[in-house]
Homo-oligomer: A and B are copies of this chain.
Amino acid sequence: MVQELKAAKIFGGWNRRYKHKSDVLGCDMTFTVFYPPACESSPVPVLYFLSGLTCTDENVTTKSGIQRKAAEEGIAIIAPDTSPRGLKIEGDSDSWDFGEGAGFYLNATQPKWKQYRMYDYIIKELPSILKQFKELNIAEASITGHSMGGHGALTIGLKHPDLFKSISAFSPISNPISVPWGQKAFSGYLGDDKESWRQYDATELVKGYKGPSRKILIDVGTKDDFLENQLKPDVLAKAAPGTPVSVDLRLQDGYDHSYFFISTFIDDHVSHAAKALKSS
């Protein structure tokens, strides 16, 4: 059962927030869908936007202005939450970069965190719900995200080229196995076996990628406080040559890590998805 929590008209379309009981995560989850006006005549392709640390499904829908371009392109936006909520696991609310709001889009293997399965939630459960929505053509999907959600978009997109026709990211954690955010999350959720971490590392995935060619668009601000120590998009870009992946890494002069930055370049990411979805 999916319950609509609220709805508001925007740019001729509708922003609708839903709540449902997740079997995969064992808790209630929220997500938001933006329906462009075009979905009134036929099902539209979708673009998933995965959000970053501390965020919910509402950050991108209230702060990025993504609906303007999505309405123009006739693409629905799917905004999931960033972790399970309300499980009351000891320590799940102690840090802003681990536990609630910090699911890292993986399937945890450590017993304590076994309900943290955002990876399965995003690729299986959420699509199974969305395919019941007749306005959406979820067989035509692209993926993008910000920071931790950029990591999610890159890793999920690279592991499932069948499900996602294009990939882009804002300020992604591009090589999590080598940075503090990633190491904290992966050791907590996956344990000490670092070999198991590589399946969720975008740079490692690019190195082994054998799918159809993918041109990944990445925007990062040069004044992003996390650029050097947590994001490392240059490491990802350097891994691409010789693989079917090409990375269009754009260093945006003077921008930071915020939604002010995202809002400035969101149109390009919607267009990047639209181009792939329309040609597929």
Where the two chains meet, the residues of A that have a C-beta atom closer than 8 Å to any C-beta of B are 8-12, 15, 62-63, 65, 67-68, 221, 223, 254-256, 258-261, 263-264
Q: How many copies does the complex hold?
A: 2
Q: How far is the CB of A171 from chain B (nearest CB, A)?
A: 13
Pair A260/B65 contact, Cβ less than 8 Å: no
Contact of A65 among B9, B12, B15, B68 (CB under 8 A): B68
State whether A260 and B15 are in contact (beta carbons under 8 Å apart), knowing that A9-B223, A9-B254, A254-B9 are contacts in the complex.
yes
A258's closest neighbor in chain B, by CB? B8
- A8 to B67, alpha carbons, bound, how many Å? 22
Which residue on chain B has the smallest CB distance to residue A11? B264
* Contact B68 A260, beta carbon cutoff 8 Å: no
B10 touches A263 (CB 8 A): yes
Chain B proximity of A220: nearest CB distance (Å): 13
| Separation of A234 and B63 alpha carbons in the complex (Å) | 31
**Using Cβ atoms and an 8 Å threshold, which residues of chain B touch A261?**
8-10
Measured in the bound complex, the distance between the Cα atoms of B255 and A121 in whole Å is 32
Across the interface, name the chain B residue whose C-beta is closest to A64: B65
5 smallest CB-CB distances across A and B, nearest first, come from: A10-B260, A65-B65, A8-B260, A9-B254, A9-B255
User: Which residues of B sit under 8 angstroms from A221, Cβ to Cβ?
Assistant: 9
Residues of B within 8 A of A63 (CB): 62-63
B264 engages A10 (CB within 8 Å) = yes
Q: How far is the CA of A223 from the CA of B14 in the complex (A)?
A: 13
Residues of B within 8 A of A260 (CB): 8-10, 15, 67
**Pairwise interchain contact A8-B65, C-beta atoms closer than 8 A:** no
Shortest Cβ distance from A62 into B: residue = B63
Interface-central residue, A65, A67, A68, A223, by most chain B CB under 10 Å: A65
Chain B min CB distance to A263 (Å): 6
Q: Please tell me if the beta carbons of A8 and B263 are within 8 angstroms of each other in the complex.
A: no
| 8 A-B residue pairs with CB within 8 Å | A10-B261, A10-B264, A11-B263, A11-B264, A62-B63, A63-B63, A67-B263, A68-B263
Q: Which residues of B contact A254 (CB under 8 A)?
A: 9
